[in-house]
Every structure is written in structure tokens, then in C-alpha cells.
Amino acid sequence: MNEALHTIAYKTSQGFVTGHFTAMAGPCEVIIETSDQELAEKVTQTVADEAWRIESTFSRYRTDNIIYRINNADGDPVEVDAETARLLDFADLCFEVSDGMFDITSGVLGKIWKFDGSSNVPYQNDIDKLLPKIGWQKVSWTNPRLQMPAGMALDFGGIGKEYAVDSAAQLARQITELPILINFGGDIVATAPPVSREHWLIGIEPLALGQNTVPPQVALKHGGVATSGDSKRYLLHNNKVLSHVLNPKTGWPVADAPASVTVLASNCTQAGMLSTLAMLQGKEAETFLQSQEVEHWIQRR
């Protein structure tokens, strides 16, 4: 990690202080309703530090963290710290409730699937070679010990950013009760509604500008909002659009997945998991979210 990139830019307007920084490969912002610049900077610094801490702790691109130790243990057991254990417990629960569709060992598929808008679909042969390296059920996890067959790899990409938002919000709440909105590249938490207005207003990125005359908006008082899906990440195959959501059992994109799913829940991790699980439902996404009785917005191409 390049420490020099750890900078925060501040902007003040209409009773809100906004801090911008970059973490987890994307733009992040912290908005605080206050005129106390010093307090706002303290909160933003805490949030940013937490984002950078979680990023470096669980990044797949570092050689000095727990993910590296797990992914390079070559089948040996690895003892993990309490935070990693909580994430593994959570991933384990998600694997269980999704009947294996949400799987933190499926990241290896990213090596062959490049969702760049082209029609470069990988060869079935290459997919077949990777499938034996996927499957959380092959991992032995008994807190605090994890043992994974050699060649497999863990990736917290599916939950890390949402977790970071919640964890940062938790720290921010300990500093102040002032209303704060934390946004890590579309994964959002609001600690309280702004005093000056009824709620925070969050825009969901439309599929294509101009296509939807009014982009969908989410009114958030407190809780978390997360969006799964990305309108720019897809492949074309046999005249059909392939979403970037992969089925860990087949190694292929989930059929008829929505372009994006946004969910509002009590925290960001919960919202993120519900939206991910909805994506994995393919054409059943709407039915699934209706049954969960959560506020949600689904966009399809």
C-alpha cells in the first residue's frame, strides 16, 4: 500500500462537511452534518483509517496479511485472529443459507472471466480445471483454525467493503452522535437522519444516462444500503448479456441476473448480502427480495 495515497480532501457546504478519500479501489466519502470542522476531520480520519486498515488486512494483493497466509498455507492449518474468525463465521453462514451459491473460495474464477464488455468467454476446459479448487465445503473451519486444500484461495471481496463501512460507522458513532453518512463506493451507512432534512437522499447509478429519465433514489434515515451489480461489467455471449455474477458450482455467470440490485437494511453488511443473494437468484431476484420484506430496487437490462 502506498501510504502517500492516504490523503483526505475536505469540502464544506450547507452545514455539511464532506471528506473524500480513496480506499478499496474506489472513491469513498464521509458526510457529517456539523459546522465543527475539527470534529468532522477527526471522524473522517477515523473512518478512513478503518477503511485502509481493513483494506490492508484482507487484501489479496499483499504478502503480509492473514489472507496471504491462508492462501499460501499449502494445506496446512492456519490459526486466525478474532476479526478474521468473525468474517469466516459470517461467510460460513452465508454459504449455508444460500445453499452454496455464496462462496468465498470462488474468487479464483476471476482469473479467467474478464467482464470487459467484449465477447471473450473463457474455454469450458479452463473453467473445468478451476472448479475442483472451489467449494467452501472442502475447507475445514473450526474457530480459530482454518485448513484449506492447497491451490484454493479465499477472497473476502464479496463482504469486505460492506463490513468496512459498518465497522467504520461503529467507530464514528463512538466519537459523535451527529448524523453521518459513510459511502465506500456505493456501499453506504447512515448513522442518523440529518437534522436539517427528513432523510439522506442517495441516487442509484442508472443503467445508462438518459435511459431512465429519473434515476432511482433511496431515502435513507439510518441503516445500510448496498448495491450488487455493475452496469459496465458484462460480457456478450450468443447475443445475450452475461452478468458478472458467477455461479460457483458451474463456473458460469448466473443466468438472467439483474443488472443491479440495491437493498436497504439495518446495516450495510446485511444489505450487501441480501443484494448479492438476490443477484444469485437470477430471474427469481424480485420474488426473493419480496419474500424478505426489505426495501429494494432492481434494474434489468
Partner 1 sequence: MKKNLLLKSALATATLTLITGTAQAEEGQEQTTPASKEQAIGDWKFDAAFLFYSESDSRVSAIEPVFNANKRLDEEEYLNLKLTVDSLTGASPSGAVASDQPLTFTRPSGNASYTVNANQYPLDDTFKDTRVALATSWTFPVSDMTKAGLGANISKEYDYLSASINGNISYDFNNRNSTLFAGLSYAFDSIDPVGGAPIAFGRMQPVGDPQNKLSGSQDKDTLDLLVGITQVIDRESLFQFNYSYSMSDGYHNDPYKVLSVLDDQGNYFDDGIPVANVLFENRPDERTKHGLFGRYKRYIDGDILDVSYRYMTDDWEIDSHTVDLKYRFAFDNGDYLQPHVRYYTQTQADFYQPYLRQDQPLPQFASSDYRLAEYDAITLGLEYGWKSSGGNQWRMALELYNQTPTEPEKYGVLQQQTLLPDWNAVMLRVNYSF
The residues of the shown chain that bind partner 1, judged by CB under 8 A, are: 82-83, 86-87, 89-90, 93-94, 97-99, 101, 142-144, 163, 166-167, 170, 173-177, 192, 222, 265-267, 269-270, 273-274, 277, 280-281, 287-288, 291-294
Q: C-alpha cell of 207?
A: 443503467
Q: Which is nearer to partner 1, 227 or 267 (CB)?
A: 267
By beta-carbon proximity to partner 1, the closer residue of 235 and 245 is 245
Cβ closest to partner 1, residue 86 vs residue 111: 86
Q: How far is the CB of 4 from partner 1 (least distance, A)?
A: 27
DSSP-derived 3-state class of residue 87: helix
Rounded CA-CA distance 219/226 in Å is 13
Spatial neighbors of 253 by CB under 8 A, at least 6 apart, are 113, 235, 242, 243, 244, 245, 246, 247
Please, what is the minimum distance in Å from the beta carbon of residue 223 to partner 1?
A: 8
How far, in Å, CA of 219 to CA of 193, rounded? 10
Question: Min. distance of Cβ 26 from partner 1 in angstroms?
Answer: 21
Query: Minimum Å distance from CB 270 to partner 1?
Result: 4
CB-wise, 86 or 237, nearer to partner 1?
Answer: 86
Q: Give the single-character DSSP code of 123.
A: P
DSSP of 191-255, one letter per residue?
SS--SSSSSEEEEPPPSSBTTBSS--EEEESSEEEEEE--TT-EEEETTEEEES-B-TTTSSBPT
Residue with cell 490492508: 56
Rg of the chain in Å (alpha carbons): 20
Q: In the complex, what is the shortest distance from the CB of residue 266 to partner 1, in angstroms, rounded to a whole number?
A: 6
Q: Which is nearer to partner 1, 154 or 235 (CB)?
A: 154
Tally Cβ neighbours within 10 Å of residue 132. Answer: 11
Q: At what angle do helices 82-97 and 268-280 cross, to 10 degrees?
A: 40
Q: Report the candidate in 169, 152, 187, 162 with the shortest Cα–Cα distance to residue 73.
A: 152
Residue whose CB is less far from partner 1, 12 or 292: 292
Least distance in angstroms from the C-beta of 233 to partner 1 = 23
The smaller minimum CB distance to partner 1, of residues 152 and 265, is found at 265
Within 107-150, residue ranges assigned H as helices are 124-130
CB of 101 to partner 1, least distance (A): 7
